[in-house]
Amino acid sequence: MNEYTEIPGGLTAVPGFLAAGIHAGLKKAKKDMALICSTVPAVAAGVFTTNKVKAAPLLLNMEHLQNDITKAIVINSGNANACTGAQGMKDAQAMAELTAEALGLNSQEVLVASTGVIGVQMPMDKVAAGIKLAAQELSPAGGPLAAEAIMTTDTFLKQISFQFTVGGKTVTLGGAAKGSGMIHPNMATMLGFITTDLAIGKEVLQHALSEVVKRTFNMITVDGDTSTNDMVLVLANGLAGNQAIKDREDDGYDDFYRALTYACTYLAKEIARDGEGATKLLTVEVLNAPTELDAQLAAKSVCGSNLVKTALFGEDANWGRILAAVGYSGADFDPAKVDIFIKSAAGEEQVAAKGTGLNFSEEKAKKILEEKEVTFIVDLNSGKEKATAWSCDFSYDYVKINASYRT
């Protein structure tokens, strides 16, 4: 099993990558524009929201990802450039062109990401000046600054970087993400960026990302709203010097797949932990399901239940809400076989057996639910497959934050 050596730096811990995070004026004071650049040609892959309403940058990226080479990603926060019509597409294209001009690239080699308020036209004068400034500020130490610049209602920076081996070569992987609200399976108002110096083919990189996202970013929910802007992008520039991975059967693919899963799982959990107004991170493990899809449906349904999330905030071991959420999930199972447990650093308690409540200790259950990280275990006893999903509790502050988001 590959060991992961944590290193500092985030996105720019990876050889050959530069980044910047600056204030362009889209937000009042905080950093609001980021730029990520590979100094050598890289291949890219992307996964995008399932929302039929897709922001202009996503539509542009779907075109630009057809290009063999990608060298830069430009990102702004504070404005989603979503539901902005033909002008929005022109502005997304302009962001790619301005970045290409500043870096001496072809605009097809640039990807674009935006996050923020929906339905407002981009202030392109500020964007243009911001891109020029960000290009001047590019640095091998800029990873954390870029991670900061993509934040909206996030309360903390989300990044990771580590090294592992592929074919005897040291490979570095860095990542950053943002997300706090409008978070629901099939991604979220969630932007995720991964950099690596692995040598890998474009098609196999796309396959790996698509599969990993299903089990990580698509398994989180904060509020049930699926965003117009969410995406995960990966750039791989090959500087690690490993024998290039061209096929899923090639040596090193499994090592990379596990590393990518490790990074995306970490970032997904950080997003769930930082849900708007959240006080607790919720992990839901579904065990012994007939199929992986059944397990995923059940886990996501429990995580997405407002009644479960409010009970968690109130530290109430209301297991009936958990079972009810599994019941309407669409998963195949026998309700008379379901066991439910709650667990945290304070211990573990079984609260239901064979679909029926137990005479459990309310006092112990309360102590378990008082912890900042809580796990619900739902054993369907109907097969051998499993899945994990992540969410957070629903607090009073969630309403406060979203009631005044635009103002």
Catalytic residue among 152, 189, 228, 265, which?
189
- Do 161 and 174 meet the contact criterion of CB atoms below 8 Å apart? yes
Q: What is the biggest distance separating any 2 CA atoms in the chain, rounded to whole angstroms?
A: 69
Amino acid at residue number 274? D
At residue 33's C-alpha, the angle toward residues 27 and 34, to 5°, is 155
Distance separating alpha carbons of residues 319 and 342, to the nearest angstrom: 9
Distance separating alpha carbons of residues 404 and 401, to the nearest angstrom: 6
Distance separating alpha carbons of residues 139 and 156, to the nearest angstrom: 22
Q: Which residue has the tokens 């708007």?
A: 276
Helix axes 56-64, 85-103, angle to 10 degrees: 50
Distance separating alpha carbons of residues 62 and 231, to the nearest angstrom: 11
Strands (E), 167-290: 169-178, 191-196, 231-236, 281-289
Q: Which residue has the tokens 């999330």?
A: 309
Distance separating alpha carbons of residues 339 and 394, to the nearest angstrom: 25
DSSP SS3 for 334:
coil
Q: Which residues have a Cβ under 8 Å from the Cβ of 267 and sit 6 or more positions away?
A: 158, 159, 160, 175, 176, 177, 192, 216, 217
Among the listed residues 165, 191, 193, 170, the one whose alpha carbon sits nearest the alpha carbon of residue 180: 191
The verdict on whether 189 is a catalytic residue reads: yes
DSSP SS3 for 307:
helix
Query: Is beta strand 339-344 parallel, antiparallel or unpaired with respect to 281-289?
Result: unpaired
Amino acid at residue number 80? A
Q: Which residues have a Cβ under 8 Å from the Cβ of 66 and sit 6 or more positions away?
A: none
**Cα-based distances in Å from 76 to 25, 80, 344:** 10, 8, 38
Residues serving a catalytic function are 189
